[in-house]
Amino acid sequence: MIERIETGIAPSASPVSDAIKAGQQVWLVAIAEDPQSGAIVAGGIEEQTRRTLQNLDIAVRAAGGTLANIVQVQVFLIDSSDAKGMNTVYAEFFQKPYPVRATVVVKELLAAGLKVEMLATAVVG
């Protein structure tokens, strides 16, 4: 059975969920948005990565886990030169053994001003 997790983060205007649970697996998506207003946070890649990971933390906790339960992360950046700054902040949130991760550079992300988006899979239970 699939369960939508209520994270408390401002809902998207698009037909998407930011956290879904099926059994012990949780699929999550996070962007650099203010969790109350939904506005994209200002700043560079470090600020946006930090907010994205804070939102990921909020979502996984709502599903009954922590960042330590995340086993896979997919990172989408719009500029390959942002990888270094993203990695610096990412290392503040995850410890060894790090989740499996793919980092992909894309042409653009849907929200204006957005520099990073992350998809994650966690195992909780």
pLDDT at 32: 98
Asked if residue 30 is part of any domain, the answer here is: yes
Residue type, 125: G
* Residue 120: CA count within 13 A, CB half-sphere: 31
pLDDT at 79: 98
Asked if residue 125 is part of any domain, the answer here is: no
pLDDT at 1: 87
Domain count, the chain: 1
Average pLDDT over residues 68-86: 98
Asked if residue 93 is part of any domain, the answer here is: yes
Asked if residue 7 is part of any domain, the answer here is: yes
pLDDT at 125: 83
Measuring CA to CA, which residue among 16, 121, 21 is closest to residue 33?
16
Asked if residue 75 is part of any domain, the answer here is: no
Give the CATH number for residue 38.
3.30.1330.40
Asked if residue 37 is part of any domain, the answer here is: yes
pLDDT at 92: 98
pLDDT tens for residues 27-43?
A: 999 999 999 999 999 99
Domain of 59, in residue numbers: 2-70+80-118
Asked if residues 99 and 73 have their Cβ atoms less than 8 Å apart, the reply is yes
Residue owning tokens 């999550």 = 28
Neighbouring C-beta atoms of residue 94, cutoff 10 Å: 15
If phi > 0 it is left, if psi is from -120 to 50 it is alpha, else beta; for residue 61 that is alpha
Q: What predicted TM-score, i.e. pTM, was given to this entire model?
A: 0.96
* Helix ranges (DSSP H) in 2-111: 45-62, 83-93
Measuring CA to CA, which residue among 99, 110, 103, 102 is closest to residue 81?
103
pLDDT at 13: 85
If one compares 12 and 100, the residue with the highest pLDDT of the two is 100
Residue 12's pLDDT band, with cuts at 50, 70 and 90, is confident
User: Whole-angstrom distance between the N-terminal and C-terminal Cα of the chain?
Assistant: 15
Average pLDDT, the chain: 96
